[in-house]
Amino acid sequence: MASLLSKYVVPGCRVDIQEIARYRDLTPEHSDEIGEGRKTYQSQVIDVLSEDRIEISMPMEKSRLILLPVDGEYDLYFYSNGGLYQCYARIVDRYKNNSLYVLVLDLISNLRKHQRREYYRFSCALEMSSRQLEEEELALAEKKEDILMPQLPLKSSVIVDISGGGLRFVANYAYEPQSLILCRYSLLIGGETKEYNLVGKVLSVKELENRKGTFEHRVQYVNMDAAEREEIIRYIFDEERKTLKNQKGDW
């Protein structure tokens, strides 16, 4: 079982832990997005003990240790250099090693590459400016040519999660679904602040129930440069490493 484990999963690899959805079809074509509708905990691989047994750090939430039960079964997502991999696993032991709390899990399914969603969504609060593309810019966007018209005004918003494939933001205005917009925001990359000007398609818009007049937008990047995508993914991984490091320091 899980002969791919030691090939793609290594110590330090990020892993998301989800409750198994027992009352739904779990085939790939019916699977939900990672974290959608199910509680998700973030952790890190400590060691690969065999092709069907691993050690991971016990997850934390708001500086509180999450004591997942022995014999509990979970859905695991590994973020490796070879892509995103998924399997099911059962907790067989948990213990404390010096200051580190450890979970031991046995894989109860084969490791498989997860094709449905390759990009992890990183929760954040980043300032963004945007505007809808003008008619003359639409054709240029399709050809991946420069579409910037700097004289046009931009509207403010806040990114609440970001990935290598798109982003989600909230604003006190609403774009039309399927419209193309220019998204401008900055990230700290390698110790330096870099500005991104990316074209995105608005997939959905909804008004927040608890914040009337505030609209949540889901956006998918359009014709994105591969180098910029890799930079954003690297930024997300770096921020996640900082979070895990801070959590381990609290133990």
Task: Encode pLDDT of 155-198 as tens digits.
Answer: 999 999 999 889 999 999 999 999 999 999 999 988 899 999 99
What pLDDT score does 149 carry? 63
Average pLDDT score over the chain: 82
Q: pLDDT tens digit string along 211-231?
A: 999 999 999 998 788 889 888
* Length reported for the chain: 251
Q: Which residue has the higher pLDDT, 121 or 187?
A: 187
Q: Predicted confidence band at 99 (pLDDT cuts at 50, 70, 90)?
A: confident
pTM: 0.55
User: pLDDT class for 22, splitting at 50, 70, 90?
Assistant: very low
| Higher-pLDDT residue of 112, 139 | 112
Distances (CA, A) of 133 to 126, 141, 151: 22, 9, 13
Residue 143 has pLDDT above 70, yes or no: no
Q: What is the pLDDT of residue 29?
A: 34
Cross-strand pairs, 188:
193
Q: Give residue limits of the domains in the chain.
A: 5-113, 122-239
What integer pLDDT is reported at residue 224 of this predicted model?
84
Residue 36 has pLDDT above 50, yes or no: no
pLDDT at site 23: 32
d(CA 163, CA 159): 11
Nearest residue to 87 (alpha-carbon basis) of 118, 53, 60:
53
Residue 237 pLDDT level (bands cut at 50, 70, 90): confident
- Predicted confidence at residue 94, as pLDDT, reads 95
Range of weakest confidence among 2-6, 87-91, 110-114, 119-123 = 2-6
Note the pLDDT of residue 136: 75
* Averaged pLDDT for residues 198-203: 93
> Within a 10 A sphere around the Cβ of 138, how many other Cβ atoms?
13
List, in sequence order, every beta strand (DSSP E) within 51-165.
53-57, 60-61, 64-65, 73-80, 83-97, 100-107, 112-113, 122-132, 155-162
The answer to whether the CB of 154 falls within 8 A of the CB of 173 is no
Q: What percent of the chain has pLDDT over 70?
A: 81
pLDDT at 236 over 80: yes
pLDDT of residue 25: 34
Instruction: Say how far apart CA 182 and CA 51 lie, in whole Å.
Output: 46
Topology (CATH level 3) of domain 122-239: Thrombin, subunit H (2.40.10)
Single out the residue of 119, 78, 113, 80 nearest to residue 224, CA to CA. Answer: 119
What DSSP element (H or E) covers 237?
helix 226-250
Was domain 5-113 assigned CATH 1.10.3720.10?
A: no
Q: How many CA atoms lie within 13 A of 202 on its CB side?
A: 22
